[in-house]
Homo-oligomer: A and B are copies of this chain.
């Protein structure tokens, strides 16, 4: 498929999604997230050979929220055996429950089901912080390098708002601590968790930064971030657990590993080909961007690019 075609296909996917752009509800659990225009829409594709294509608001930064969890997991695993110790503290199974549920954590004795539900992502942040001394800084640094965007940063106002309204995450972190499943103080872990979730980045930035998953573990400069097997495995965890309680539905419709955030972004991986990032702020009841899912569905239908 030629370059012209890829750009045109992105455009067609956006047009296909246009009728549903703005449908659903913008995340309202923190005030800072409610101010975004629900009609914004962007989509970008970064190919494994370094090309980037985009349509709509693809260069406009948005709050990446849980999309950051893909990067905390990858950076943690990039520390080899020290990273793999994570798997003693978090599982790899779909949760079958709402993303911030405490129920499952209790019935499974403080071991979160997977690294992408909130509890699991807090544990990953904790481990990354132990390994790097600065979990949020590690994520920011990686995103800056891979995207080439030196101005990419945490939105301090969003981070402060998350902390202020974060009683549920605080509950969850204290609960993990009560099971001995945190290495760092609750407050430290939450600060870094909020800081990486509150990074503002564009579809372009994220599509570029996620490229290592399409390149089987290689960074944009060709250096190896992860062994090939670990890149494959992260894709597996993304496919089974990356879309909150709609992972099955996303696999069924789109057929790609992906990670969504309540900011409305979704980063999806086409192994061996590239990474797609779609963004539109209004969410479906599961917490995934309605228009972004629609556009990714359309794109994979048009291209036939699916892992299945």
Whether A129 is near chain B, meaning CB under 8 Å from some CB there, is no
Whether A103 is near chain B, meaning CB under 8 Å from some CB there, is yes
- Which of chain A's residues 230-274 have a Cβ closer than 8 Å to chain B? 231-233, 235-237, 239-241, 245-249, 251-253, 255, 257, 271
Once A91-B248, A271-B308 are accepted as A-B contacts, the answer to whether A103 and B107 lie under 8 Å apart by CB is yes
From B93, B101, B233, B247, give the contact of A106 (CB < 8 A).
Answer: B101
Neighbouring B residues of A160 by C-beta, 8 Å: none
Neighbouring B residues of A308 by C-beta, 8 Å: 231-233, 235-236, 239, 257, 271, 307
Neighbouring B residues of A95 by C-beta, 8 Å: 94, 96
**How many copies altogether?**
4
Whether A170 is near chain B, meaning CB under 8 Å from some CB there, is yes
In the assembled complex, the Cα of A158 lies from the Cα of B171 at a distance in Å of 23
Whether the Cβ atoms of A175 and B186 lie closer than 8 Å is no
From B92, B101, B103, B248, give the contact of A252 (CB < 8 A).
Answer: B92
A51 to chain B, nearest CB (A): 22
Residues of A with Cβ closer than 8 Å to B?
91-97, 101-104, 106-107, 113-114, 167-168, 170-175, 177-178, 186, 229, 231-233, 235-237, 239-241, 245-249, 251-253, 255, 257, 271, 301, 306-308
